[in-house]
Chain A
Amino acid sequence: MLVMKQSGYGKAISDRLDRTFAALANPTRRAILARLASGEVSVSELAEPFSMTQPAVSRHLKVLERAGLISSGSDAQRRPRKLEARPLAEATEWLERYREYWEASFARLDGLLSELKATEKKHERAAAKKR
C-alpha cells in the first residue's frame, strides 16, 4: 500500500538494483547463484545439472557478471565463478526496509487496537452498571 516516492538520491544504487533484479528474474540464473553459494564452481561443472550447453550457461554467467553478482575466481585455467555478496546484500536490505516500515506501522496499530478494545470494555461495563 505504501512505498516512498523516488528521490534523486541513490541513482547509482538504483541502477545497480536494476541490474541485480533483471539478473535475478530468471530461474536458471537463480539456480546458478544457489549453486555458487557453496563455493567456487567451474563453467563445465555449472552446465552439468542444468542439461544446458556450455555456451548457454556462459550467456547466463555474463548477465550475472554484468550485474556484479558473480566474478571469476583465482584459478586462471578453470576460471571458476564465485558469488559476490554485495549486490545481493543491497537487494536484501531493500526488502528489509520494506518490512521495517510495515512492522513499525503494525506495531502502532497493535497499540491502537488494544486501546480501542479497552475503551469498548469500559463502555460495556458502564452500560451494565446502568442496567
Chain B
Amino acid sequence: MFFPDTFKVSTPSDREIQVTRDFDAPRRLVFDAFTKPELVRRWLLGPPGWTMPLCEIDLRVGGAYRYVWRSENDGSHMAIGGVFREVIPLERLVATEKFDDAGYPGEALDTTVFVETRGITRTTITILYESQEARDTARRSGMEYGMAAGYDRLETLLPTFIGERT
C-alpha cells in the first residue's frame, strides 16, 4: 500500500519549507533508505534525465555527506553537501545543506524526523533557510529548472499516464 495522498508541502514560517509523507514500512527501513548511500542512490535521483554518480554519507555528528547529480542530456552537474549536527538513529537527523552553486546566501538546516505508527512511518523534512529571500530564491530556481525541463518531461510522462488510465 502506498500513501501518495499524505504528501504535503508547506511553509510553516517565512524561512522554512516542510515536506511530509507517510511510507508503508517500519522506520528502520525508511531510516536506512535515507542514510545508506547504496539505497539513497536508488530513489533520490534528481529530476528526470539525471543520475546520481556520487553519494557519500558519514552518518555521525560532525560527519559529512555529499551528493552529486549529473544530467544525461548535457553532462552538467549539480552538487550538495553538508555536515550532520544531530544523529539519533531511527528518529531524527539534523544536517546543514549547501549547494555548490547556490543562488542564495548561507547554509540551510535540514531536520528529518521519522515517526512510526503501526508499521507506517511518517517522515517530515523541514528545511530552514537563513532568510526568507534565501528560501524564495531556492524555491524559485527549482521552478526555473522545472520549466526548462517541462516539455521534454511531458513527452516522456504522457504515455505513462495514458497507459495507467486505460
Q: Which of A1-28 contact B (CB under 8 A)?
A: 1-7, 9-10, 13-14, 17-18, 21, 25
Residues of A within 8 A of B60 (CB): none
Asked whether B48 is an interface residue with its Cβ less than 8 Å from the other chain, the reply is: yes
Q: In the assembly, what is the distance between CA of A18 and CA of B30, in Å?
A: 37
Contact, CB under 8 Å: B148 / A113: no
Whether B43 lies near A109 (C-beta < 8 A) is yes
Q: Which bucket holds chain B's interface residue count?
A: 35 or more
Query: Interface with B: A45-53, A57-65, A73-81, A93-101, which one?
Result: A93-101
Q: Are B139 and A4 in contact (CB under 8 A)?
A: no
CB of A37 within 8 Å of the partner chain = no
A101 nearest CB neighbor, chain B only: B47
Across the interface, B42 reaches (CB within 8 A) one of A98, A102, A104, A112, namely A112
Residue in A3, A25, A93, A113 whose CB lies within 8 Å of B33: A113
Within 8 Å by CB of A1, from B110, B141, B147, lies B110
B100-156 contacts to A, CB under 8 A, are 100-103, 110, 112, 125, 127, 132, 136-148, 150
User: A70 CA to B147 CA in the complex, in Å?
Assistant: 24
Q: Does B24 contact A (CB under 8 A)?
A: yes
What size tier do the contact residues of chain A reach?
35 or more
Whether, in the assembled complex, A105 has its beta carbon less than 8 Å from a beta carbon of chain B, the answer is yes
A86: min CB distance to chain B, Å: 14
In the assembled complex, the Cα of A21 lies from the Cα of B137 at a distance in Å of 10
Residue of B nearest to A117 (CB): B25
Q: Do B141 and A93 touch (CB < 8 A)?
A: no
Q: Is B66 an interface residue (CB 8 A)?
A: no
Contact A108-B42, Cβ < 8 Å, known A7-B145, A14-B144, A113-B25: yes
- Beyond A101-B142, A103-B4, is A9–B148 a contact (Cβ under 8 Å)? yes
Report A100-131 residues with CB < 8 Å from chain B CB. Answer: 100-114, 116-117, 120
| Additional A-B contacts beyond A106-B4, A108-B42, A110-B4 (9; CB < 8 A) | A2-B80, A3-B141, A4-B146, A5-B102, A6-B101, A14-B144, A93-B143, A108-B45, A109-B23
